[in-house]
């Protein structure tokens, strides 16, 4: 495919990835019914995703397992500083403050991505990006039903930590993709994140919940689907998209996630669609159109 075709496909891959992430609530709630804590659900998701990514890389290109020793800090940053930091901080935030507040703090990530991209990659902060960012953030606020309540110093720290960790994947991933394939990047990112997660997930308790599950086969299938549909497919698509989409633009496009999550809540969990949520969805879609209008 020519360069123009890749440029057109890149944003589509980002949007599809965010749409998969928007469905994560279904799987998280199902796993929670088995008694797993938020951190344990994170660990299940990341660990199985690491195995999936390793298998894909083994089949596609075994040479992709070779990385330079000097790049280990980069992958440590991706695995621990991005994926694990983001998930742990976000799940911690939603346990001590309203979900809507945690979500809004998380979706300040496009702001951090835009600023870091301008400094590190010299990406231009033009009027189109600023307008799209403002529309996307306003849309996330409306979709999440932000009330501004329940913010504490600790909650703010976790919320902003999740935002920065989320944004770091776009920044560090862009750097890693200059040298490695998307398959190598995602494999090592999740392998490192998975190893880190086992230090904080209370493994004995987590494994006992598997062994004592009344529907063991159903739990295993649910865990595999959670990893595949909320981590493997979306992160691979997002990483592929980053090859042809500016990090700052990708961060804004990914704000379709809360919009999809709202639609999932309406269709799957029979949650009500409010006027503000509908307006928020319209603003997020407007941001996507503005970013991709030529």
Confidence of residue 25 (pLDDT cuts 50, 70, 90): confident
Exposed, middle or buried, 209 (CB in 10 Å: 0-12/13-18/19+)?
Answer: middle
Q: Which of 1-10, 16-25, 122-131 has the lowest mean pLDDT?
A: 1-10
Tokens 């603003």 identify what position? 283
- Rounded to whole angstroms, the Cα distance separating 55 from 46 reads 14
- CA geometry: angle at 78 spanning 287 and 88, to 5°? 80
Structurally, the chain folds into a number of domains equal to: 1
- What pLDDT sits at residue 269? 74
- Rounded to whole angstroms, the Cα distance separating 271 from 274 reads 9
What is the percent of the chain where pLDDT is above 90? 61
Task: Characterize 239-278 residue by residue with b for buried, 16 or more Cβ atoms within 10 angstroms of its Cβ, and e for exposed.
Answer: bbbbbbbbbbbbbbbbbbbbbbbbbbbeeeeeeeeeeebe
Read off the pLDDT of residues 56-102 as tens digits, 9 standing for 90 and up: 999 999 999 999 999 999 999 999 999 999 988 888 887 777 766 77
Longest dimension (CA), the chain: 56
Q: Is 66 left (phi over 0), alpha (psi -120 to 50) or beta?
A: beta
- Domain of residue 127: give its range: 3-292
- What pLDDT sits at residue 100? 67
- What pLDDT sits at residue 88? 87
Read off the pLDDT of residues 93-144 as tens digits, 9 standing for 90 and up: 877 777 667 777 888 899 899 999 999 998 989 999 999 999 999 988 888 7
Confidence of residue 3 (pLDDT cuts 50, 70, 90): low
Kindly report each contact of residues 222-226 with a partner whose C-beta sits within 8 Å and lies 24 or more positions away, as own/partner. 222/27, 222/30, 222/31, 223/31, 223/44, 223/45, 223/48, 224/48, 225/27, 226/27, 226/28, 226/30, 226/31, 226/41, 226/44, 226/45, 226/48
Backbone angles phi, psi at 152, to 5 degrees: -120, 170
Average pLDDT over the chain, rounded to an integer: 89
Evaluate if residue 234 carries a pLDDT over 80: yes
- Rounded to whole angstroms, the Cα distance separating 14 from 8 reads 11
Read off the pLDDT of residues 248-261 as tens digits, 9 standing for 90 and up: 999 999 989 888 88
Q: What is the pTM of this model?
A: 0.87
- What pLDDT sits at residue 104? 79
């Amino acid at each position: 495919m020519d360069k123009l075709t890749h440029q057109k496909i890149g944003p589509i891959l980002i949007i599809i990835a965010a749409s998969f992430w928007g469905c994560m609530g279904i799987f998280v709630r199902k796993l929670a019914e088995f008694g797993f804590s938020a951190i344990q659900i994170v660990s299940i998701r990341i660990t199985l995703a690491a195995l999936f990514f390793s298998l894909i890389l083994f089949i596609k290109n075994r040479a992709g397992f070779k990385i330079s020793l000097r790049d280990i800090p980069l992958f440590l940053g991706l695995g621990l500083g991005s994926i694990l930091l983001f998930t742990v901080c976000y799940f911690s935030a939603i346990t001590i403050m309203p979900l809507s507040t945690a979500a809004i703090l998380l979706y300040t990530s496009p702001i951090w991505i835009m600023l870091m991209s301008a400094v590190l990659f010299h990406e231009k902060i033009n009027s189109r990006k600023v307008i799209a960012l403002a529309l996307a953030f306003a849309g996330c606020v409306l979709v999440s039903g932000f009330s501004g309540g329940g913010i504490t110093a600790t909650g703010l720290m976790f919320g902003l930590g999740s935002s920065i960790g989320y944004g770091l994947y776009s920044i560090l991933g862009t750097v890693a993709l200059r040298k490695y394939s998307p398959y190598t990047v995602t494999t090592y990112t999740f392998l490192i994140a998975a190893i880190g997660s086992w230090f904080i997930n209370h493994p004995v308790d987590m494994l006992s919940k598997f062994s004592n599950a009344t529907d063991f086969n159903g739990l295993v299938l649910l865990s595999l689907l959670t990893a595949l549909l909320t981590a493997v497919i979306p992160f691979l698509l997002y990483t592929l998209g980053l090859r042809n989409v500016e990090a700052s633009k990708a961060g804004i496009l990914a704000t379709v996630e809360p919009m999809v999550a709202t639609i999932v809540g309406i269709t799957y969990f029979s949650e009500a669609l409010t006027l503000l949520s509908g307006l928020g969805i319209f603003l997020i879609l407007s941001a996507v159109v503005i970013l991709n209008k030529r």
